[in-house]
């Protein structure tokens, strides 16, 4: 029989409804008395292993022996490798608590499960296709009212907010139009309109290395760990960070109930990836800036917040520490864009971003294909848009690869001084009338 104090310990982990509370409330680690620069914090964690292992071991087990009161009983409810990752993430996300799940969409699902029928969600009109798909499902099947508005305009967002607003879901920069959203301004407005509204920010494009939404007034920061945090496209993960521990408990309840907590091996792999986040991101950003300048100098319309020509340059730099490594540009023709995408050799045709390898894609055909074409048109998502997700390769090789692709695809006109983007008939500003050539 278990000792009385073990039973008392176990009981103290149950809430009033008898829900199992998290095995580890995730304090930050390490606690050094002072905070190091993020690049240092990313690398160092107190493993605290009984055998002094230098890296956190993989607790590849479903169950743990013992009775009530012990920290771990079953990996769906908690696992030491996952807890260590969560502690490490809480530290680098400036969060009181972090939780990790099996994908970025899994994180979005956990967060939006706190909504009830009749609740209102205010969100953007340029969102990752999967997020749009989940919200549409909830609207059509869960009785949730979803308002898609232009979140770049604070007044438009304010007009959509009311005391019925239960959640505001933001992305910044947005995928793939690279629009910048005022996190602090919208968080304040949302809480004024509805004090209990949860402002959740998808931080996938930036990672905690470049942007910390909780510091700007958001209630939840989440991201696809599949991208920059892991950096190698060898795992799927989703990460959630909160300061409000009661909200963290609600999310943990969902994770334990639905069983989407990140598996021990993937937790270990993600921990490994996070250590190199700073060096990868610095190199990827520098490469992206050079490519953005190269494309702009040759006459392409480029969307990248590192360029002064970005209409929300000042807003972006008021809330982020870097421009990231995703840019998009337009050609004026779907067929031309297809030829460019098919002509690169180093930029691989693939969805996703954040990997050490450079990638090229056409969002309307790939990552955002789940958005109905009519809706894409309504939201002014150009069908010809090309997204570049820049990796850590040598910049001269990348520029050379892109130059050759632009020439091979016929996207540029050769001049005695080099080349310039070819004018495509039918172009009408940002919402292009895309003309397909024969
Ligand atoms: C901005 C953004 N959020 C969330 C997700 C979902 O992440 P995951 O693929 O890990 O489910 C993605 C991509 O998939 C994304 O681009
Ligand atoms: N077939 C997938 C597409 C994943 S897109 C991944 C990533 N977020 C991106 O923007 O490239 C799906 O249907 O979700």
More reliable by pLDDT, 45 or 30: 45
Is 227 among the residues known to form the active site? yes
Q: Which domain holds residue 100?
A: 80-275
Residue 336 makes CB contacts below 8 A (sequence gap 6+) with: 384, 409, 410, 411, 422, 424, 437
- Do residues 252 and 106 both lie within one domain? yes
Looking from the CA of residue 175, the nearest atom of ligand 2 is 10
Q: What is the pLDDT of residues 379-419, one digit of tens each?
A: 999 999 999 999 999 999 999 999 999 999 999 998 888 88
Is 76 among the residues known to form the active site? yes
Q: How confident is the model at residue 68 (pLDDT cuts 50, 70, 90)?
A: confident
Would you say residue 53 lies in a domain?
A: no
Is 74 among the residues known to form the active site? no
What value of ipTM does the predicted structure carry? 0.98
Give the pLDDT score at 11. Answer: 42
- Do residues 326 and 232 both lie within one domain? no
More reliable by pLDDT, 245 or 433: 245
Would you say residue 106 lies in a domain?
A: yes
- Do residues 215 and 290 both lie within one domain? no
Looking from the CA of residue 353, the nearest atom of ligand 1 is 16
Q: What is the pLDDT of residues 242-294, one digit of tens each?
A: 999 999 999 999 999 999 999 999 999 999 999 999 999 999 999 999 999 99
For the chain, what is the total number of helices (H) and then of strands (E)? 14, 14
Domain boundary among 247, 275, 303: 275
Give the pLDDT score at 426. Answer: 55
Taking the centre of ligand 1 as the mean of its atom positions, its distance from the CA of residue 294, in whole angstroms, is 28
- Do residues 340 and 236 both lie within one domain? no
Would you say residue 12 lies in a domain?
A: no
Closest Cα to atom 9 of ligand 1: 104
Is 72 among the residues known to form the active site? no
Looking from the CA of residue 352, the nearest atom of ligand 2 is 11
- Model's pTM, two decimal places? 0.91
Q: What is the pLDDT of residues 329-364, one digit of tens each?
A: 999 999 999 999 999 999 999 999 999 999 999 999
- Do residues 193 and 292 both lie within one domain? no
- Do residues 402 and 309 both lie within one domain? yes
Mean pLDDT of 156-170: 98
Would the pLDDT of 187 be above 70? yes
Residue 288 makes CB contacts below 8 A (sequence gap 6+) with: 304, 306, 323, 324, 325, 326, 327, 388, 390
Give the pLDDT score at 429. Answer: 36
Mean pLDDT of the chain: 90
Ligand 1 mutation target, pool 109, 128, 174, most atoms within 8 A of CB: 128
Domain boundary among 212, 241, 275: 275
Helix (H, G, I), strand (E, B) or coil at 63: strand
- Do residues 128 and 181 both lie within one domain? yes
Task: Please tell me the distance from the alpha carbon of residue 401 to that of residue 390, in angstroms, as a whole number.
Answer: 12
Cβ neighbours of 344 (radius 10 Å) = 22
Taking the centre of ligand 2 as the mean of its atom positions, its distance from the CA of residue 38, in whole angstroms, is 29
Q: How confident is the model at residue 34 (pLDDT cuts 50, 70, 90)?
A: low
Task: Please tell me the distance from the alpha carbon of residue 368 to that of residue 375, in angstroms, as a whole number.
Answer: 11
Residue 246 makes CB contacts below 8 A (sequence gap 6+) with: none
Would the pLDDT of 368 be above 70? yes
Q: Would you say 181 and 150 are in contact if contact means Cβ atoms under 8 Å apart?
A: no
- Do residues 313 and 328 both lie within one domain? yes
Closest Cα to atom 7 of ligand 2: 352
């Amino acid at each position: 029989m278990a000792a009385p104090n073990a039973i008392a310990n176990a009981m103290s982990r149950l809430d009033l409804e008898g829900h199992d509370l998290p095995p580890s409330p995730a304090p930050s680690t390490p606690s050094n008395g002072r905070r190091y620069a993020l690049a240092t914090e990313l690398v160092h964690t107190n493993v605290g292993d009984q055998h002094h292992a230098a890296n956190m071991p993989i607790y590849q087990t479903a169950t743990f022996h013992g009775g009530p009161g012990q920290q771990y009983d079953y990996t769906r409810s908690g696992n030491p490798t996952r807890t260590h990752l969560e502690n490490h993430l809480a530290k680098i996300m400036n969060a009181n608590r972090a939780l990790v799940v099996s994908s970025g969409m899994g994180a979005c699902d956990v967060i939006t499960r706190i909504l009830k029928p009749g609740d209102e969600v205010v969100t953007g009109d340029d969102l990752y296709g999967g997020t749009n798909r989940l919200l549409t499902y909830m609207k059509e099947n869960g009785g949730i009212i979803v308002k898609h508005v232009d979140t770049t305009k604070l007044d438009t967002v304010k007009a959509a907010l009311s005391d019925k607003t239960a959640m505001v879901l933001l992305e910044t920069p947005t995928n793939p139009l690279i629009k910048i959203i005022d996190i602090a301004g919208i968080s304040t407005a949302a809480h004024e309109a509805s004090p209990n509204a949860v402002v959740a920010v998808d931080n996938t494009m930036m990672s905690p290395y470049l942007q910390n939404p909780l510091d700007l007034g958001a209630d939840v920061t989440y991201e696809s760990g599949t991208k920059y945090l892991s950096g190698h496209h060898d795992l799927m993960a989703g990460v959630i960070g909160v300061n409000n521990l009661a909200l963290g408990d609600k999310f943990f309840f969902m994770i334990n109930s639905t069983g989407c907590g990140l598996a021990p091996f993937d937790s270990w792999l993600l921990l490994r990836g996070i250590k190199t986040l700073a060096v990868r991101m610095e190199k990827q950003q520098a490469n992206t800036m050079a490519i953005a300048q190269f494309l702009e100098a040759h006459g392409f319309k480029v969307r990248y917040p590192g360029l002064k020509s970005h209409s929300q340059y000042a807003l972006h730099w008021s809330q982020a520490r870097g421009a990231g490594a995703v840019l998009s540009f337009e050609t004026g023709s779907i067929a031309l864009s297809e030829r460019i995408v098919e002509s690169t050799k180093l930029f691989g045709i693939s969805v996703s971003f954040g990997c050490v390898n450079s990638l090229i894609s056409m969002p309307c055909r790939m990552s955002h294909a789940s958005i109905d074409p009519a809706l894409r048109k309504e939201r002014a998502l150009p069908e010809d848009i090309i997204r570049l997700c820049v990796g850590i390769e040598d910049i001269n090789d990348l520029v050379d690869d892109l130059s050759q692709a632009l020439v091979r695809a016929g996207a540029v006109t050769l001049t005695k001084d080099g080349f310039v983007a070819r004018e495509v008939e039918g172009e009408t500003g940002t919402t292009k009338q895309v003309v397909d050539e024969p």
